[in-house]
Structure 1
Amino acid sequence: MLLLATVFAEAGATSLLKYSDGFQRIAPGLMSFGVYVLVLFLFSHVLASIPASVAYTVWTGLGTLLLILSGWVFFGEAMTLVNLAGIALIVIGVILINRRQGSSS
C-alpha cells in the first residue's frame, strides 16, 4: 500500500510540474517540490521491506501508466494505439515482476 501511495504521490508531483508551466506559476511548482520530498520519504520506507529492483520497477511502471492517463484526461494529450499498447506492456511487466518475486525460484 505504501508503494501505491508513493506512485500516486509521484504522479501528482509530476502533474503539478506540468501545471507550473516551467515554474512560471510558483504555487504548483512549490507544491510539486514538497510532494517530491514526500515521495522520497515514502520510497525510502518502501525499500525497507521490498527489494529495490521490484519496488523501482513497479514505481516507474505504474507512475508512467498514471502519467499517460492523466495527460490524456487532464491535459488533452493524445491517446494512440501505441500508448494503449505501451500501457498493456507496462501492466503485463508489473504483473510478471510481482509474480516472479512471489515465487520461490
Structure 2
Amino acid sequence: MASAYLYLLLAIFAEVTATSALKLADGFTRLLPSLIVVVGYCISFYSLSLAVRVIPLGYAYALWCGIGIVVIVGVGYFYYRQPVDLAGMFGVGLIMSGVAVLNLFSKMAVR
C-alpha cells in the first residue's frame, strides 16, 4: 500500500514538472522544455497507472488533480510571477478543502 502512495507522489511530481515546463516549451517550439513536458507526462501517467492498482481510481485521481493544481498555482505565482487574486485564492482553498475532506472523512480510500 505504501508503494502505491509513492507512485502517486511520483505521478504528482512528474505532472507538476511537465505542466510547469509547458510555458517554457512555447507551443512546443523549444526542444528541451518540450521533451520535459512529454517525458514528465509519460512518467506521470505511468506512475498513476501503478498507483491505481491499489488506490481506488476516484480517490487517486482527486489527489493527483487537487494537489497538482495547488502546486501549479504556487509555481505560477513564485516562478512565473503570475498574480493570484482573491477569487483565485478562494478557488484554490476550495480545492484544498476538498482534498482535506477526502483524506479526513471519506471512505473512498478504503478498498
TM-score, length of structure 1 as denominator length? 0.90
Q: 2:27 aligns with which of 22, 27, 41?
A: 22
- Number of residues paired by the alignment? 104
Cα RMSD, aligned residues only: 1.7
After the TM superposition, which segments of 4 or more aligned residues of structure 1 sit over 6 Å from their partners? Answer: none
Q: 1:91 aligns with which of 90, 93, 96?
A: 96
The equivalent of 2:9 in structure 1 is: 4
The equivalent of 2:51 in structure 1 is: 46
Identical amino acids, percent of aligned pairs: 32
Do residues 81 (structure 1) and 107 (structure 2) align?
no
The equivalent of 1:68 in structure 2 is: 73
Contact 2:59–2:108 at 8 Å: present in 1 too?
no
> 2:65 corresponds to which letter in structure 1?
T
Q: Distance in 1 between matches of 2:11 and 2:60?
A: 10
What is the deviation of 1:98?
2.0
Equivalent position SS for 2:107 = helix
What is the deviation of 1:33?
0.3
Contact 2:56–2:108 at 8 Å: present in 1 too?
no
Do residues 101 (structure 1) and 102 (structure 2) align?
no
Q: Distance in 2 between matches of 1:101 and 1:11?
A: 27
What is the deviation of 1:38?
0.6
Contact 2:56–2:109 at 8 Å: present in 1 too?
no
- Structure 1: tracts of 5 or more residues without a match: none
- Structure 2: tracts of 5 or more residues without a match: 1-5
